[in-house]
Structure 1
């Protein structure tokens, strides 16, 4: 019961020094005994269980009934073939489900929270799964607590523990508290922080006392991040489509069986044929194919620094027409460098004057900023806010010994930064046994608290002229696209309270820092513009700074396209809705403003992507159609609220993700259209032939074989296409667009009818070349076999070849890389090879009741098989010529 122990007792029992943390060697030893810091997930279904679930379908039951019937009818070869088709289909289904499951697991692994720890006297960030008991963990606002901790330091620290305690309000922590009662309720243990809770305010340091299933959340088996895979809206719609098509197919098959009965055909044979046609015409693999394509696609996106947390986001990405992006770190490099310092001594330019010209006032201002910072910087390895890291680097460049400073001073209290005050203050015990308050923040916020200015190594009352000079310096820095930050101090006492820390401050100085735009951002913004996507910049910087960077990146051209947070507060929601699309830059905004911006943009019918990294960004990320969290600077709260996480915090990655999302959706659409076209072709062939009173053009085993060849590998291969490199020259897809819009439905119907009719012609030709007609009486069995064989070959060849033309519905083959999709080429070749094997291996040929084609038959099968592809290509060329 760690909450009953003091800090010293806890440290002694776990044998760790809070100043150095564990060594890597000790952590390795402890990990062997404690195991990974990961909650146990639900046990996955075994491959056998997945296999059995693939057979749990009413159509499969009907096929099993067909196996029994064929055995009764002594058609043993047919029963074996049907059984093999069932088992192979189930095996393919198992492969698809396992593949999708592994990809989804990989995505979950990528989004495991990070933990900030101290090991080997060095602060670093590691995966929370690598945490061991005894690790010194650093907490800050926005982070998820990675294990159960006994706090050893808490500064205005608050955590949200509603998942554990049901308490809706954040709990304030007190590291010094010791609870002597072993029955102290979980919610009252304020000297502990618990795994899965979220830091909402302040900062703290704790020692890991329990990990994985030994934590409080582990004890109640609250399995975080291991929820069952749920279908996306896209998969659900396709499931419904499959059910609808299934009903239609069953109706057609009932009609065929009834027609066969009226025509006096062999009912046993026609029952098998009707059932097989139902199986062949229903795209039962549609949902599985979509799951595989989605999971493989988002895994590929993760390799390009975009982790999709919620699969529906892939569908939505193709509709995004506005990207609202933070400036710092996303549009810029997030490598802040201080270039100018302004004090009462005047402007000090590091690039021009060098470090020699730094005055005592400049060094005092830099020291103040170092002491009022939570960042760390050691040998280019930094943690914390990039702005604070830049201030540490400024101190180093001025020759300030930060190690000595840390040893001779200690922080006694602090008032953490928040977006409302826009400032942070600390109470520091200095080396001369004195106390001082240091505050840093926006000049506009500090000006309200300042009564004096530091000049000539003394403080004096501030004048209007002083304030004007500092404001003018800030304006000039902003015009140069520099981010400004002011710093102040005041003498204090050991008992100075937080409520009095930020009153009567002495202004020390103002720094301007540069965060240059990323080289790849400007081309990405141009690409997004060509794709019909508007880029909107959102920043906390001043109007002038924001406009300067926006102009450089071609986001805005004039000041009228900029609006500030205070201006937003002075207009109504209706006014904002009417004017929001005129703005390209939102400056000096708070996280609360972001939500208003998102709602206003969505009210105008836009599909909005919004970036964020802070705790307070979570509402805007949830409000946006696509919430994008920063993977490097983002808090765990922001990541938890987001649909997508950028592992490189780069705007260009958003544009690449949209491109990938468009291509994934396009690939799924290709697979759907291909399956529906092929299945319709089979139905058309059977219905036309039977209505004409001809013998059945295909028997049950042949239908099932065709379904096996064309409904699996080619469809999956189409879904794995590299995509169209020109997809970003198209406009965003409307949110309510379905798979059959833009002529896709018409294409599937006409393609299916055409394939059905040319196969019917091939079937007729099979009779004709041997001197018979399908309506003749007493046709020899070998003639019927020859006709069926020709229909069999034409149908397979036409479907396989047709898949090539569906790689791009607008571009003819000669304008695409014909062999660009190696999976599809492989699927076509494998399908043709298997088809030829069935023809040339006598045992298989007899099993499928086929007849060896003569030279004319092979030529006719190849020629008719190519016709649908040729027709599709001619249509594309004519469309291209019309344009």
Structure 2
């Protein structure tokens, strides 16, 4: 896998120098091997990419022996049909190249102009292709790929202009790190959207249903403004700061034709919201028979706040339990939860604030019951996650 140079030396003692260097009487000294070693994190990055369902293909202009040696260090295997050379590629039709690229992992002695054909063959097979390059001749392939990745350190201006992404450190491991970050961002967006939809179902329901059923009004604009003071930071800060889940790089790539939020995710979010609405309605009916109108309103509001917090915790993980999510670090989450509970205590038990919210003092035992009902509103969803984890190997 080394680039090898032969080294020789010679002396000349005459007056007339030879016309060319080969006329000197050289003496062989030895061989000089030049190594271009892989960066330390490349084998691990390749393994992580494979675990994430990302296929890595090495394309190089080096000789096959050098390419195989470097590929072995990186953890790449030639594939069942061996490596593909530029000479072989020249004699393949587009269809034949597409079939060959289905199993080839290493391409050697590839001319820059042939990289474009490789990218087009991979795209024709239905793959989402990211292509790296640094030279002027790489620009067509970088432009043709779904994601062109240029080298920011040694790359040419033409390559950087043609690419979608520029690597500042020229390190393949940074691409894998970007995939991990992208999956985390995508996960957190879906979690946030699920929470937004779920939490607004009980709020909308409690604003409309009591009026339709002839009950006293439960939610006034001030109550909804209070709830939004919890919802907005949860969406914009809590879920944004959620760390990546442990299996984020063990999942296959998602179908790019699927929407960001829809299908089962949309249905589960609606079910979460309806479950929370049912619990709040039951609490309201329960409190109406045993408390004053202000006490019933305070109970319903407290259940709504606790349900809101339970939905935040429940949506933190797509597979992990609510209990497990308590131990996942997120300082912003605990700031929001502490602020929400502190403000809830103030509006319930500070007389002049309670009068603004049209609350009567809520006994502590009823407040504890409200906390339990808020937790109960998401238990069915937690049970569903456990069943799903057991079904998936």
Query: Who is 1:802 aligned against?
Result: 311
Query: Higher strand proportion, which one?
Result: 1
Query: Who is 1:556 aligned against?
Result: 77
Secondary structure (helix, strand or coil) at the match of 1:610 reads: strand
Contact 1:714 1:824 in 2 (8 A): no
Query: Who is 2:333 aligned against?
Result: 824
Compute the displacement of 1:625 (Å): 1.8
Instruction: Select 1:852's aligned residue among 361, 380, 383.
Output: 361
1:840–1:855 distance in 2 versus 1, CA, 3 Å: closer
Structure 2 Cα separation of the partners of residues 738 and 806 of structure 1: 19
1:738–1:558 distance in 2 versus 1, CA, 3 Å: closer
Compute the displacement of 1:807 (Å): 1.2
Compute the displacement of 1:751 (Å): 0.3
Q: How does 1:24-39 map to 2 (within 5 A)?
A: none
User: Stretches of 4+ moved more than 4 A in 1?
Assistant: 509-512, 814-817
Find out whether 1:868 has 2:377 as its counterpart.
Answer: yes
Instruction: Select 1:525's aligned residue among 15, 22, 46.
Output: 46
Find out whether 1:635 has 2:299 as its counterpart.
Answer: no
Contact 1:618 1:642 in 2 (8 A): yes
Contact 2:5 2:32 in 1 (8 A): yes
1:699–1:741 distance in 2 versus 1, CA, 3 Å: closer
Structure 2 Cα separation of the partners of residues 817 and 635 of structure 1: 48
Contact 2:135 2:156 in 1 (8 A): yes
Query: Who is 1:621 aligned against?
Result: 142
Instruction: Select 1:457's aligned residue among 12, 24, 29.
Output: 24
Find out whether 1:791 has 2:300 as its counterpart.
Answer: yes
Please list the CA deviations of residues 315-358 of structure 1 after superposition, one character each: whole Å capped at 9, or x if unmatched: xxxxxxxxxxxxxxxxx9xxxxx87422xxxxx4xxxxxxxxx5
Structure 2 Cα separation of the partners of residues 791 and 578 of structure 1: 63
Contact 1:555 1:584 in 2 (8 A): yes
Find out whether 1:834 has 2:343 as its counterpart.
Answer: yes
Give aligned pairs, total: 383
Please list the CA deviations of residues 469-494 of structure 1 after superposition, one character each: whole Å capped at 9, or x if unmatched: xxxxxxxxxxxxxxxxxxxxxxxxxx
Find out whether 1:595 has 2:116 as its counterpart.
Answer: yes
Query: Who is 2:388 aligned against?
Result: 879
Please list the CA deviations of residues 284-314 of structure 1 after superposition, one character each: whole Å capped at 9, or x if unmatched: xxxxxxxxxxxxxxxxxxxxxxxxxxxxxxx
1:879–1:590 distance in 2 versus 1, CA, 3 Å: same
Please list the CA deviations of residues 738-759 of structure 1 after superposition, one character each: whole Å capped at 9, or x if unmatched: 2345731121011010111111
Q: Taking structure 2 as the reference length, what is the TM-score of the superposition?
A: 0.89
Query: Who is 1:569 aligned against?
Result: 90
Structure 2 Cα separation of the partners of residues 714 and 558 of structure 1: 46
Find out whether 1:748 has 2:263 as its counterpart.
Answer: no
Contact 2:78 2:105 in 1 (8 A): no
Query: Who is 1:759 aligned against?
Result: 280
Compute the displacement of 1:558 (Å): 5.3
Please list the CA deviations of residues 704-753 of structure 1 after superposition, one character each: whole Å capped at 9, or x if unmatched: 22123213345421122111132001111111122345731121011010
Contact 1:580 1:601 in 2 (8 A): yes
Secondary structure (helix, strand or coil) at the match of 2:81 reads: helix
Structure 2 Cα separation of the partners of residues 536 and 817 of structure 1: 41
Contact 1:550 1:556 in 2 (8 A): yes
Instruction: Select 1:516's aligned residue among 14, 31, 37.
Output: 37
Instruction: Select 2:130's aligned residue among 605, 609, 614.
Output: 609
1:584–1:558 distance in 2 versus 1, CA, 3 Å: closer
Secondary structure (helix, strand or coil) at the match of 1:711 reads: helix
Compute the displacement of 1:678 (Å): 0.6
Contact 2:310 2:375 in 1 (8 A): yes
Compute the displacement of 1:454 (Å): 5.1
Query: Who is 1:359 aligned against?
Result: 9
Q: Taking structure 1 as the reference length, what is the TM-score of the superposition?
A: 0.41
Secondary structure (helix, strand or coil) at the match of 2:57 reads: strand
Tell me, which stretches of 5 or more residues in structure 2 are unaligned? Answer: 12-16
Contact 1:793 1:861 in 2 (8 A): yes
Compute the displacement of 1:585 (Å): 1.2
Query: Who is 2:182 aligned against?
Result: 661
Pick the structure with greater CA Rg.
1
Please list the CA deviations of residues 440-470 of structure 1 after superposition, one character each: whole Å capped at 9, or x if unmatched: xxxxxxxxxxxxx9545179xxxxxxxxxxx
Secondary structure (helix, strand or coil) at the match of 2:40 reads: coil
Please list the CA deviations of residues 416-445 of structure 1 after superposition, one character each: whole Å capped at 9, or x if unmatched: xxxxxxxxxxxxxxxxxx9x9xxxxxxxxx
Secondary structure (helix, strand or coil) at the match of 1:728 reads: coil
1:341–1:591 distance in 2 versus 1, CA, 3 Å: closer
Secondary structure (helix, strand or coil) at the match of 1:522 reads: helix
Structure 1 Cα separation of the partners of residues 264 and 60 of structure 2: 42
Compute the displacement of 1:881 (Å): 3.1
Structure 2 Cα separation of the partners of residues 801 and 816 of structure 1: 11
Instruction: Select 1:812's aligned residue among 293, 311, 321.
Output: 321
Instruction: Select 1:719's aligned residue among 240, 246, 253.
Output: 240
Instruction: Select 1:546's aligned residue among 49, 67, 92.
Output: 67
1:339–1:589 distance in 2 versus 1, CA, 3 Å: closer
Contact 1:565 1:593 in 2 (8 A): yes
Query: Who is 2:14 aligned against?
Result: none
Please list the CA deviations of residues 547-599 of structure 1 after superposition, one character each: whole Å capped at 9, or x if unmatched: 22213322124583311223222222222223222111121223322222122
Q: How does 1:361-400 map to 2 (within 5 A)?
A: none
Compute the displacement of 1:814 (Å): 4.4
